[in-house]
Homo-oligomer: A and B are copies of this chain.
Amino acid sequence: MKDDTPNLMRTQRLGLLTQHEAIVLVRADCPVCRSEGVGPHSQVTLTHGDKSVVATLYQVTEDWLPVGTAGITESAWERLGLEDGALIRITQTPPPASLAYVRQRIFEDGLTEAQIRAIVKDIVDERYSDIHLTAFVTACAARPLATREVISLTRAMIDTGDRIDWGVTPVADKHCVGGLPANRTTPIVVSIVAANGLLIPKTSSRAITSPAGTADTMETLTRVDLDQADLRRVIKAEGGCFIWGAAVNFSPADRAIIRIERALSFDSAGSLVASVLSKKIAAGATHVVIDIPVGPTAKVRNSQQARELADLFTTVASTFGLALRIEITDGTQPIGRGIGPALEALDVLAVLKRAPDAPQDLRDKAIRLAGAVLELTGKAAAGEGEALAAETLDSGKAWDKFLAICKAQGGVFEPPVAKFQRPVNATRSGRVSAIDNQRLARVAKLAGAPDDKAAGLDLHVHIGDCVQQGDPLYTLHTESIGELTYVLDYVTTNPDIIELTR
Contacts and interface: CB of A to CB of B under 8 A. Distances in A.
A40 B19 contact: yes
Contacts of A61: 15-17, 74
A135 B134 CA distance: 6
Interface in A289-333: none
Nearest to A59: B17
Number of copies: 2
Contact of A139 (B28, B64, B138, B480): B138
A147 interface: no
Contacts of A458: none
Contact of A106 (B99, B142, B485): B142
Contact of A134 (B17, B59, B134): B134
B21 A16 contact: no
A37 to B, nearest CB: 5
A60 interface: yes
Interface string A481-493: 1110110000000
Interface stretch (A243-251, A258-266, A345-353, A372-380): A258-266
Nearest to A481: B3
Interface string A7-22: 0000001111111110
A277 interface: no
Interface residues of A, number: 62
A103 B438 CA distance: 15
Q: Which of A131, A266, A451 has the most CB of B within 10 A?
A: A131
Nearest to A260: B131
Contact of A143 (B129, B143, B263, B268): B143
A28 B37 contact: no
Given A132-B264, A265-B99, A19 B39 contact: yes
Contacts of A3: 480-482
A344 interface: no
Contacts of A137: 135
Given A2-B480, A264-B132, A41 B19 contact: yes
A229 interface: no
A95 interface: yes
Closest 8 A/B residue pairs (Cβ): A15-B62, A2-B482, A134-B134, A15-B61, A142-B142, A138-B138, A19-B41, A17-B59
Interface of A: 1-3, 13-21, 23, 25, 28, 35, 37, 39-41, 58-62, 64, 73-74, 95, 99, 102-103, 105-107, 129-132, 134-135, 137-139, 141-143, 260, 263-266, 268, 448, 451-452, 480-483, 485-486
